[in-house]
């Protein structure tokens, strides 16, 4: 008799997740995807206004969620949020771009982007993984990277540097934490229609360049990222670590 393999589960029932940057955009979409799959989601962001509204709407739909006001760039706050709390899933969606030519980049611009995109991501990962290790638990850490962590882009020198650094960091951490069954990966989207990207999409020359580069011929939507987040959070990706899942419409295919 043939024994058929059992499909992996995408269910997150019984799991606890932390999602940063959860008050809007991709972070909000990831929080919704994980909550709909059954996880209890701690939604974190700097401001409580939109964050509270997000959580209210999520709980009104019967999902389990709570709000956490958190400035991820404040490492003392970040350490306090993770101390002794081993989240099964961590999704880091907080990010900064500040697009401008390299010649016009000031040290303060560089520091702002690096502090959010790389420095805070490093310590978020380390402290989340340490809490899991000390609790003897497996887990999944997911960073929102970018296709710009694989290619270059106009007016995005500092942003590219931060995302290439993030991708290298993830590979090294995956090697270190693999023995503890702690997985760490990235989602690397193309331009997704969010408040962060709108400043670029509103420029006709940049919008034309973007649509030319995306082989599927359209800008991404938040819903395009939600499935990737659920996959990497769930047991369906149990053998996936140290990699980057490109959701770029074919931008990097050539």
* Residues taking part in catalysis: 159, 163
Q: Are 140 and 236 in contact (CB under 8 A)?
A: no
DSSP classification of residue 254: -
Helix axes 223-233, 25-36, angle to 10 degrees: 50
Adjacency order of strands within the sheet including 89-92: 65-69, 40-45, 16-20, 89-92, 139-144, 182-189, 244-247
Q: What is the dihedral of CA 221, 145, 25, 12, to 10 degrees?
A: 90
Task: Name residue 139's beta-bridge partners.
Answer: 182
Residue 132's contacts (CB-CB under 8 Å, 6 or more residues apart) are 86, 87, 138, 139, 180, 182
How many CB atoms are closer than 10 A to CB 208? 10
Alpha helix stretches (DSSP H) within 100-220: 107-114, 120-135, 157-177, 195-201, 204-213
Q: How far apart are the C-alpha atoms of 125 and 241, rounded to whole Å?
A: 13
Q: Which residues of 141-180 are buried (b: 16+ CB within 10 A; e: fewer)?
A: bbbbbbbbbbbebebbbbbbbbbbbbbebbeebbeebeee
């Amino acid at each position: 008799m043939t024994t058929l393999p059992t499909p992996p589960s995408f269910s997150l029932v019984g799991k606890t997740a932390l999602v940063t940057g959860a008050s809007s955009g991709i972070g909000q979409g990831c929080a919704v995807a994980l909550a709909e799959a059954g996880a209890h989601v701690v939604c974190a962001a700097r401001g409580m206004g939109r964050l509270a509204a997000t959580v209210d709407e999520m709980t009104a739909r019967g999902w389990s969620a709570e709000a956490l006001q958190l400035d991820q760039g404040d490492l003392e706050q970040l350490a306090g949020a993770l101390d002794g709390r081993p989240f099964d899933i961590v999704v880091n969606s907080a990010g900064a771009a500040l697009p401008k030519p390299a010649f016009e980049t000031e040290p303060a611009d560089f520091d702002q982007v690096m502090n959010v995109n790389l420095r805070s991501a490093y310590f978020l990962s380390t402290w989340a993984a340490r809490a899991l290790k000390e609790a003897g638990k497996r887990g999944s850490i997911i960073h929102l990277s970018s296709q710009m962590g694989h290619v270059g882009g106009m007016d995005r020198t500092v942003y590219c540097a931060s995302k290439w650094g993030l991708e290298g960091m993830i590979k090294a951490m995956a090697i270190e934490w693999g023995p503890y069954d702690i997985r760490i990966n990235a989602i690397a989207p193309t331009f997704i229609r969010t408040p962060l990207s709108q400043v670029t999409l509103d420029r006709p020359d940049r919008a034309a360049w973007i649509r030319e580069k995306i082989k599927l011929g359209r800008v991404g939507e938040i819903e395009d990222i939600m499935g990737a987040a659920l996959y990497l959070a769930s047991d369906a990706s149990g053998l996936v670590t140290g990699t980057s899942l490109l959701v770029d419409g074919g931008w990097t295919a050539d």
